[in-house]
Structure 1
Amino acid sequence: MGNCASAMDGLIPWGNKAAAAANPGMSASKRTSSSSTTTGKLSTISTSTFMPSTVSGVSTDDGYPEGEILESPNLRIFTFAELKSATKNFRPETVLGEGGFGKVYKGWVDEKAMNPSKMSTGGVIAVKKLNSESVQGMEQWQSEVNFLGRISHPNLVKLLGYCMEDNELLLVYEYMAKGSLENHLFRRGAVYEPLPWSLRLKILMGAARGLAFLHSSERQVIYRDFKASNILLDSHFNAKLSDFGLAKHGPDDGESHVTTRVMGTYGYAAPEYVSTGHLYVKSDVYGFGVVLLEMLCGLRALDPSRPTEKLNLVNWAKPLLADRRRLSQLMDSRLEGQYHARGAFHAAQLTLKCLSGDPKSRPSMKEVVEELERIELMRSKSRSREVRRDSSSVARGQANSPRSDSARTSSRGR
């Protein structure tokens, strides 16, 4: 959708229309969670989103200390006039993307005071403006503020502020220069060059760390809409999760799941959630497995333009993921020669574990991060060996070249 801070609806068709009819809350576009908190100003927004014991500390999982959870949102309150000025009166040429919530505009502000600024001197922001016809826009708006407004982590997009004035609802995010992973992975053309294997691993690890942080907080957060269009990339291709409109707290102590209306995106939602409405923390892990599979194949989770047997990527790919000899049939042809075969097979095995039909059999996101780090280490070691081998070959070639012999003779003569 472009360089925006919130990946809006990338309509992904559902191959089974009967299933769609049976679950009206689930659609190809994003929907918002059903919980709502009445709010007028920032001070009245719910502060019960997270447990008090998580207020000033970091994640309870020592493996992810760089995240922070605040007691209440710490956001800048913008006036509508300020955001209108920052986006140059919401000009069409500043539109970064559009979806069910509304349009996302590019804006410019003074980096210190966050006041509207000229394009040439200001910092860049992304402004999401609610469409007045959006049925569940208020719920999504509040969910974004209650979750993103209180969570800080390098792999979660930063919410800078909001505007709630008359009938206008807007959210202000940091600007993500490279746009969404979906665009880079699936769009063709000079603007979007194929992502190399090394960048795919980097993006996957960043997104996995973001999910791991959400799951490891004292009051676990289930993201519920993990997909390529919700993974945004900064100018250095660092991945950040965006759009918390469907985010929900995990089960209370002693419970394995929460039961909720089925919502999300077809092709990414875990099977147990679609069939029963039972939402587990590891339902997010299934969604991660689907994106990991997309990264391996370079294909969308669902694509009606493909042959019937390949319409659903997970169903088609599972047998290939389990067979080392057939794995090459699945790998994105644009990755040829870039990946280590052993690393690719480990990635395939990790994908299978994430896509397990039983939530209990799926790894935790912390375990996913650790496995991706091992795969990255395999790539680095393989690359180092290649460099040493190439250097050695060059050295031997120089030693045997006539030029080298004459040089040595000349040296002896001197």
Structure 2
Amino acid sequence: MGNVEERSRYAALSRDELARLVPELLLIGQLIDRSGMAWCIGAFGRDEMAQVAIDEWAAASPIYTRRMQRALGYAGDDVVTIFKGLQLDIGAPPQFMDFRYTVDDPNHGAFHLDHCGALMDVEPMGAEYVRAMCHDIEDPTFDATAVATNPHAQVRPIHRPPRVPSDRSPHCAWTVIIDPGHPPVEATAECLRNAESQAALVELAPIAGEGEGRHDYAGPLLADLDFAEFSHSALVRIADEVCLQMHLLFNGFRMAVAKRLPDAPADAERLALRTLIGIAGIASERIMRAVDVPRTPDGAVELLLLHPIFNPAAYVTASGAGDRLEVRPGPAHLDGAWISLCGPEELRPLQAAVRALDASFDVTITGMADSFAVQVTRGEGAKEFDEVAVTRISTGASFVFQPRKALPLYPV
């Protein structure tokens, strides 16, 4: 890793490490809701939890979808562009949400899920929770994702859960049709607000058009993205963009929760904090599947510098050396992002993150709310936080990615 603060903290990783890390980051983004929605059910009930999920995804996905299109050079207004966006979306991490695509022509296509990890998590909770996710949440959020490509795109179900029979496969199937006669989907008020955030506007270094591997996603749609085929520079940019997806989603989550607790900002803050604690620990575990870090305090700082809490570097101002990490005011603090929930008064998110490496690790934090130093120390060992244990219930916490080939798909 080194101690030099770089344009991107992921640039120091090898191309092989990045190819392993990018799908892990996509899965981490999906698991944010496995953490947050559990606490929203307790605070608001099942039906209102679903509305929080709708609001947060609709506030974020149109923004980050367009960012990835621009970064990888595949912006367009057709079905292929929509499907490419899904392949690079934290709402559809590869294999865990196993999308299979069919393209008929630029305006007509379909997809089905051979495996839906989100369904595996929710199905044991009963048909009403399945209906809330696969009907109430998916209908508006699929269209909100498609609107980033074409406001006249509609995503409609062929079949979807609750599954009848109970082992039905594929888990669901959908058509995607673009028609000028479809009423245009418009951005939500929260999305318009999020579009003015620092996370939406931050500029990242362009992909260098040199070195081995592909530098963009122009050309045909691929059945699966083999991230090992991308160049080092492209993978760095993708990793940074995926972290921004998480921050934009968390912006949406905070807006959705605050809207429902206008007179209780402290309660809204607690919900946000519990969500962060839960995902912080699981995210560290997933990162460690891709990148080897020493099980030392110095290694814990290396791990933190790869963690979405601290990325991308253009958004979160921080640097690390040895067993110490320093945070300074930056764009993320202006958004009230994850880093703003960490500091001298709140140790738990970073404790959860470093204890994934070694349960005996602890942190001390000195300084001010937006400018502080983090020291990783060894303690006596601690019980796992309840928030991490709740997030671990998801099958995504232990999911194992398998190698796949990037085969092109053509209109049938």
Q: TM-score, normalised by structure 1?
A: 0.29
CA radius of gyration, larger in: 1
Q: TM-score of the superposition, structure 2-length normalised?
A: 0.29
